[in-house]
Structure formats: C-alpha cells, structure tokens
C-alpha cells in the first residue's frame, strides 16, 4: 500500500476551501491527473471520473463515502488494478484553513510491479496539485 500525505495553509476561510474541494467538478482545475469529472447522482456523492496516472488511464466511479461540513471528506475509487481512498481534512487556523490530503493507494496484480514508480510520482504530483489548489483559492475574489 502506498500512503501519501500533503498539507498546506490556504489563506481563505475553511468554509470557502471546503465548498470548493467538496465540489468534485472543480478537480479538473487543479488536479493534473483528472481529465474529466461528471456527477452521476443528484446528491453529488458519485462521479464518473477519467484519471491519467501516466502508467495507466482509468474511467471509474469516484464516490464520496463521508462528508462532515467544513471538516472532512473521504472519497474512494476502485478499479481493476487498484483502489485508492482520499482523505481531505480541513482545520480552521485563525482566518485561514489548514488542508491535509492523505491518499492511500493499493495496487493489485501486475500493477504492483509499478509501485515504486507510482509512489515517487504520486508525492510530487500531489504537491503540485495542492499548490495549484492553493493558488486558485487565494487568487479568487
């Protein structure tokens, strides 16, 4: 299992950061691996998602398993060769928001052979994505 954790302080209120991240349609704006996202239910808890991880491309369902307003989002995706769970934690620090993202990925079958490469790429990619998210939110009026 690959566990990757990134965190940052975003100079915006928790409510604003949470609302932006909770709307999974925004992922194409800041996550370079996400090519397309489409809500497939009116509760916006399941999304059809296209992911390009370099080594493999996925067209799967990304499901929000738990959401606690302004505090936590847990979402997961299961594909043939892998399963991953993303945990977004939001913490109010004065007027700002500390955002922590923890990704747990389990590769299966032949995909396990690429675990070392995926692990290296995932950390740097998650840092870049978080930097993009921070920039979008902090420049937003």
Query: Which pLDDT tens digit goes with each residue over 112-140?
Result: 666 666 676 778 889 999 999 999 999 97
Calculate what percentage of the chain has a pLDDT beyond 70.
89
Contacts of 79 (CB under 8 A, 6+ apart): 58, 60
Question: What would the mean pLDDT of 5-32 be, rounded to a whole number?
Answer: 96
Q: What's the confidence (pLDDT) of residue 68?
A: 97
Q: What's the confidence (pLDDT) of residue 114?
A: 63
Rounded CA separation 13/96 (Å): 5
Of 90, 87, 76, nearest to 20 (Cα)?
A: 90
Question: What would the mean pLDDT of 20-43 be, rounded to a whole number?
Answer: 94
**Contacts within 8 Å (CB) and 24+ apart, 116-125:** 117/55, 118/2, 118/53, 118/55, 119/2, 119/4, 121/53, 121/54, 122/2, 122/4, 123/4, 123/6, 125/32, 125/33
pTM for the structure as a whole: 0.90
End-to-end CA separation in angstroms for the chain? 39
Lowest mean pLDDT among 33-37, 103-107, 126-130: 103-107
Q: Name all domains of the chain by residue range, CATH numbers in brackets.
A: 2-23+66-139 (3.30.530.20)
Distances, alpha carbon 12 to alpha carbons 30, 80, 84, in Å = 16, 38, 28
What is the tens place of the pLDDT at every residue in 68-83?
A: 999 999 999 988 777 8
Lowest mean pLDDT among 21-30, 54-63, 99-108, 122-131: 54-63
Distances, alpha carbon 114 to alpha carbons 13, 23, 117, 127, 131, in Å = 39, 31, 5, 20, 26
């Amino acid at each position: 299992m690959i566990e990757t954790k990134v965190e940052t302080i975003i100079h915006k209120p928790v409510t604003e950061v949470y609302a932006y991240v909770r709307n999974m349609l925004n992922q194409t704006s800041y996550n370079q691996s996400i090519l397309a996202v489409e809500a497939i239910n009116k509760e916006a808890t399941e999304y059809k998602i296209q992911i390009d991880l370099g080594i493999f491309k996925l067209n799967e369902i990304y499901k929000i398993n738990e959401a606690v307003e302004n505090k936590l989002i847990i979402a997961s995706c299961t594909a043939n060769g892998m399963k991953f769970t993303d945990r977004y934690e939001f913490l109010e620090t004065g007027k700002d928001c500390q955002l922590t993202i923890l990704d747990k990925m389990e590769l299966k079958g032949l995909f396990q052979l690429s675990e070392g490469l995926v692990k290296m790429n995932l950390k740097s990619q998650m840092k870049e994505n978080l930097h993009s998210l921070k920039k979008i939110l902090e420049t937003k009026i």
